Chains A and B, each alone.
Chain A
Amino acid sequence: MSIVDKVGEPKVIEKQALFDCREAYSSVLEELAAQDQRVCAVINDSLSSARLKSFKTKYPDRFVNVGIAEQNLVGVSCGLANSGMIPYVCAASCFLTARSMEQIKVDLAYSKTNVRLCAMSPGMAYGQLGPTHHSIEDLAWMRVLPNLTVIVPADPVETAAVMRYSLLHEGPMFLRIARLPVPRVHGDDYEFRLGKAVRLREGSDVTLIANGLMVCRALDAAKALEARGISARVLNMSTLKPLDHEAILDAARTTRGIVTAEEALAAGGLGGAVAEVLAQQHPTPMRILGVPDVFAPTGKAEFLLEHFGLTAAGIERAALELLAREG
């Protein structure tokens, strides 16, 4: 049951203040540590970027800094889980995924270890620092690993809800925590349900499926489409894995096409995952928005999002093209 079913109409809060989701993640992490002695944090010299100064002060005995050593970072967290702890590994997504890939595969995914990877500043959040620091490959890399749950929260409300959920989850998780400011798209009564898309807006012409910071942009695109007389459904597909096949197939059956949008490579991430479902079960016209097969040029994050059309206008344009082509 989506929020729409529950309350009768989409519960979308108008764009107001913007939030850095790291604040929500770190405050809930402290809450979890207070609640459960097994919760610990493991970092790679990422104290301030992972917003853990306060955690370290409050729980110095449950805080491990392995230094700038990402293979070790994930291996140590696997050992902590073996000892019965519940480690939250908090590190920049670009280094955490690329440098620790084999440890994530073997020590966590293959071993079904109870470790939570909190991947900070993903996508192009590091802007001008360039492709070395961008993490646009992470969704493709993470979602192909068996046993690994992959979640991309859309706003601080969902980030907090996912963090609270994570304490109870069995097995390894990858949480992509946004640094670029986003508005709230969920109400205070939001309940996270693993593997369930959140229908933020009803629609019958086209479906916009997004995750992370693209969700609020998809909602804006839906409003713009509405002004043109086009009814767009918006799904927040925050759980990339396990994927909500039902919501995707329902969208394919009841609307004329699907546009996906993610702040990641267009190859292999959310768009790829949706396309895999549709190609095999219900071939449906699609547009996949993301970073094309290039490394980003120099520029601030917001500039790069514009550059690659990862905006409300870009989503709107893709939907219009899709509908025009499909008549």
Chain B
Amino acid sequence: MKEMAFKDLTRPVDRSQWLKRQANWIRLSAMTMTNHAQLGHTGGDLSCADILSVLYLGGILRVDPSQPLWPQRDRFILSKGHCAGAFYSTLAAKGFFPVEQLKTFMDPLSMLNGHPDRKALPGVEANTGPLGHGLPIAVGAALGARMRHESWRVFVLTGDGELQEGSNWEAAMTAQHYGLDNLIVIVDRNRLQQGDFTENTLRMEPLADRWRAFGFSVAEVDGHDPEALLNRFSALPIASGKPTCLIAHTIKGKGFSFAENKPAWHHGVPTREQLVEAGRELGVEVNW
């Protein structure tokens, strides 16, 4: 991991490659944790790794690992709390806690629960796991910034199947009503949910139009292209006075070719051999 830092890279192509490498490290780390615990949410961890890498390691989020509760920090809320493996790996890579600690994933009494616990782990803003909780919390934190005359922003990452929960749309109405342009919803649009493709389960499309109808400025982006993500995240809000929704098109299981786009890999557990194979594909070594 320790090499030239992101901030020292000037050429977009270098920055993009660097972030891709971090994302792949997050992927392999999360899958190693899943193998260790023999439990985890493989597909979703892998689909959101690039988004997490760009937000935390690409300098988008104004957070300080040495002061996790710095009042003026940007808030990031992982609404798809089951993707804790990728999230913990990202927080560790950012320096919120030692990377070594990832080896305790889901162990008895570990700080690394199967879903994030803000009381146990620095860097976690909200306890999530049941779906549809993150967006209302994010709306509250964005309203709080306004009440406190602060300029922090609130990013919330939701799954796509998760949007079937009605609480998201209650929160979206509130965000629109209060014109929360400090709120950014990122949808990990991997098109799969636990049992099947979203469109076979409960149709999500036209998803962008739905968000627009709820008063959001919407952009669609390749969720595996660090440069595209960086560009989007660097130009927020899309419209002043309106909350933003970024639909990040992703592939569930991305990077573990045998798991890509396969419903069974929602929480499939990779074997050691599969980890090594994936590591070769991703250009990252399994480090424990």
Contact = CB atoms under 8 A, between A and B. Distances in A.
Nearest to B75: A82
B185 to A, nearest CB: 13
B133 A64 contact: no
A83 B147 contact: yes
B130 to A, nearest CB: 6
B133 A69 contact: no
A87 B119 CA distance: 19
Contacts of A77: 140
B129 A106 contact: yes
Which range holds the interface residue count of chain B? Answer: 35 or more
B241 interface: no
Interface stretch (A45-53, A107-115, A260-268, A309-317): A107-115
Interface in B71-129: 71, 75, 117-119, 125-129
Interface stretch (B18-26, B37-45, B165-173): B165-173
Given A79-B142, A80-B143, A107 B137 contact: yes
A107 to B, nearest CB: 6
A85 B147 contact: yes
Contact of A71 (B117, B119, B129, B166): B166
B133 A106 contact: yes
B144 A103 contact: no
Nearest to A111: B127
Which range holds the interface residue count of chain A? Answer: 20 to 34
Interface in A64-84: 64, 66-67, 69, 71-72, 74-84
Given A40-B147, A69-B174, A83-B141, A103 B133 contact: yes
A246 interface: no
Interface in B231-263: none
B133 A80 contact: no
A5 interface: no
A78 B170 CA distance: 15
B144 A83 contact: yes
B148 A78 contact: no
Interface in B189-228: none
A29 to B, nearest CB: 16
Nearest to B141: A79
A83 B148 CA distance: 8
Contacts of B173: 67, 69, 72
Contacts of B154: 79
B159 interface: no
B136 to A, nearest CB: 2
Contacts of B177: 67
A78 B71 contact: no
B194 to A, nearest CB: 18
B75 A71 contact: no
B138 interface: yes
Contact of B145 (A64, A83, A102): A83
Given A61-B147, A107-B127, A111-B118, A72 B174 contact: yes
Given A66-B170, A67-B173, A69-B173, A76 B136 contact: yes
A223 interface: no
A205 to B, nearest CB: 46
A256 interface: no
A66 B142 CA distance: 14
B48 interface: no
Contacts of B55: none
Contact of B171 (A72, A80, A83): A72
Contact of A79 (B128, B144, B178): B144
Interface string B149-182: 0100010000000000011001101100110000
B51 interface: no
Given A66-B174, A72-B174, A82 B141 contact: yes
Contacts of A80: 140-141, 143-144, 147
A66 to B, nearest CB: 5
Question: What 9 A-B pairs are tightest by C-beta distance, nearest first?
Answer: A79-B140, A83-B144, A75-B136, A72-B170, A69-B170, A76-B140, A79-B141, A71-B167, A79-B137
15 contacts: A64-B174, A64-B178, A66-B170, A69-B171, A69-B174, A71-B132, A72-B139, A72-B174, A76-B143, A79-B139, A79-B140, A82-B126, A82-B137, A103-B136, A106-B133
Given A69-B171, A77-B140, 7 more contacts: A64-B178, A67-B177, A78-B136, A80-B140, A80-B141, A83-B148, A106-B133
